[in-house]
Amino acid sequence: MSNGMITKLRSSIGVVCMFLVLALLLFNSLLSGNTVLFSTDNNLGQNAAFQYALRSGGFMNWGDSPLVGSGGIMPPSLTFILNEKLPIIFFTNWIHAVYIAGAAIFLGLFLRRNGLGLLAILMMGLVAFCLSTNLTLIYSGHTGKYGVLFFMMLALWCIQKTINNDSLAWAILSGGALGMALLEQQDVALFMGLFWAAYAIHAIVREKGWDWLYLAKRLVPMACMALWIAGSVSLLQLQFQTKDVGVAGGETAEAKWEFATQWSQAPDESIGFIAPGYMGWRSGEPEAPYWGRMGRSAGWEKTGQGFMNFKLDDWYIGAIPIVLALFAVVFVWKGRQVITSITASGVDGQDWRIWRLEVLFWGGAAFLSLLLAFGKYIPLYALIYHFPIISSIRNPVKFLHVFQVAMGILAAYGLEAVIRISQAETRDLK
């Protein structure tokens, strides 16, 4: 094994160990064995009921809450498979930790191949998975969203391997990861998948130019594998969601629009990204209840009917990561004016080109996903709402999952730039 391969292996092991340790630190209170993780939608009792249903009826389930009962199909996702196979307390306590650690590891490996150091990758992990909605949704449950994060980060790493190795096999694996993400939760996976598809095109064009035949040879296998794994299940789920929007939303187009966009982030509430708890912590919190507009039912101001608001997670990212993310964008936007500082610290011109294009892509992704998360409060979401499938998906705030990952990547590049410039200036002083 060459020295270069040994170095890459060591750095990969470093990324894996770093995020495993971080996950244990986050969930350290569960190590005693006397604690069970609480969440609302995926609590211990519900997970036990799912396990019973899975073991007795396969991936068919039956709910007895309606008067006549109701049946359904549980998609063969990794989450449901683990729910069936693992001890129920272990599953309830550690499924979120496993998904968070796995997502951070694969995104870390993705950044490592672009030359970022461990400290910058640690910053990415903290911002993308250990703050804001990607962590605080554990209180709500929503385990499928954590499965989506895991498989989407795996897909991103596989897309990178596809391009670096010029490999059809990796393209197929990328599609497999996307398909598994769709099995976990179709709406969030679809929202993220739109940006991941754009990234795949961006990365292929960056390396190969506008070679339409090559694009087809890599993108078509990805799409076919994803559809083969999750196409039929996703179609059924989306049909159910479309019916739910039609029935619960009402008959008029305006009522359906209000129902589908009920959970939109009000732009002025974005202060929560840098001011934790400014808008309150969550709805119903005794000491600091959320007092904003998230989840407010249409017409509540006049009728008082429905929800005044409903939010169970938090959006805090922090001023330092946001400043680093903005610095990364400004830094690469200046282009050749700063290339001397970068090359002096060991990054060659080709790597600089990749850094620049990566930061500009993820900067655009962060900006666009935040605008889409605003939903009904700005005109942009009204434009895409009428696209196929989008109108059947509720809650534009789910685009914050894309925003948070993009901000984590940008913060990592920003911190790496600060480190490289500092190292170069230190050497110049010597």
For the entire predicted model, the pTM comes to 0.91
Q: How many CA atoms lie within 13 A of 416 on its CB side?
A: 27
Rounded distance, CA 358 to CA 142, Å? 30
Main-chain dihedrals φ then ψ at residue 185, nearest 5 degrees? -160, 115
Q: Give whole-number Cα distances, 148 to 98, 155, 398, in Å.
A: 12, 10, 12
What pLDDT was estimated at residue 70? 41
The tokens 């073991």 sit on which residue? 55
Intra-chain end-to-end CA distance of the chain, in Å? 36
* Phi/psi of residue 149, nearest 5 degrees: -60, -45
Residues whose CB falls within 8 Å of the CB of residue 355, separated by 6 or more in sequence, listed in order = 114, 115, 332, 342, 347, 413
**Structure tokens, 158:** 């596989």
- What pLDDT shows up at residue 298? 85
**Sign of the alpha-carbon dihedral angle for 203, 204, 207, 209:** negative
Q: Residue 398: which of 244, 263, 292 has the closest Cα? A: 263
> CA triplet 200, 206, 212: central angle to 5 degrees?
70
In this structure, what DSSP letter does residue 346 have?
T
Given this model, what pLDDT does residue 344 score? Answer: 46
Contact 239, 73 (CB under 8 A): no
Helical (H) or strand (E) element with 72: strand 70-73
Question: What's the pLDDT score for residue 32?
Answer: 83
The pLDDT assigned to 345 comes to 47
pLDDT along the chain (430 residues), means of 10: 70 91 92 87 86 73 44 75 92 95 96 92 96 92 93 96 92 96 91 95 91 92 92 66 53 83 93 91 88 89 86 92 94 64 50 85 97 94 85 89 97 92 69
- What's the confidence (pLDDT) of residue 59? 59
pLDDT of residue 255: 84
| Predicted pLDDT at 251 | 64
Q: Say what angle helices 319-333 and 349-373 make with each other, to 10 degrees.
A: 130
Q: What is the pLDDT of residue 388?
A: 75
Does residue 296 come out as left (phi exceeding 0), alpha (psi in the -120 to 50 range) or beta? beta
70's tokens: 């109701």
Q: Rounded to an integer, what distance in angstroms lies between the CA atom of residue 421 and that of residue 34?
A: 48
Q: Give the contacts of 270 (CB within 8 A, at least 6 positions apart).
A: 315, 370
